[in-house]
Amino acid sequence: MNYFLKNGLLAFDGGAGKLRIRYDTYHDVVAAMLREVLSLQHGGDKTAADAFIGAYTAWDDALHGVLGGSMRATAQYRYVMVRYGVLQQ
């Protein structure tokens, strides 16, 4: 998600607390990420791979926390209770 935010596929609307998807950039941004990941894998440079992971896995409470809170607030259920008739005796 952070890669997509940085490269313009996603945009965070702080006022609404929502993500906007820019579908017109989807293919280009996903292809760029794939090229970058494949290049890292092919190069075998652990330092570069660690830098990529570090750059795009950071948690920003002002962004991720707001989105998570919004998702929790709109979730109807947080779990599902499954009951199996064969076990009910």
Mean pLDDT of 39-58: 94
> Is it the case that residue 85 has pLDDT exceeding 80?
no
- Global pTM reads 0.72
Predicted local distance difference test score (pLDDT) of residue 82: 78
- Maximal CA-CA distance, the chain: 60
Predicted local distance difference test score (pLDDT) of residue 2: 92
pLDDT digits (tens, 9 = 90+) for 55-75: 999 888 888 888 888 878 777
Mean pLDDT of 11-33: 90
Question: 11-38: buried (b, 16+ CB within 10 Å) or exposed (e) per residue?
Answer: ebeeeeeebeeeeeeeeebeeebeeeee
Predicted local distance difference test score (pLDDT) of residue 63: 82
Predicted local distance difference test score (pLDDT) of residue 89: 59
Mean pLDDT of 30-53: 96
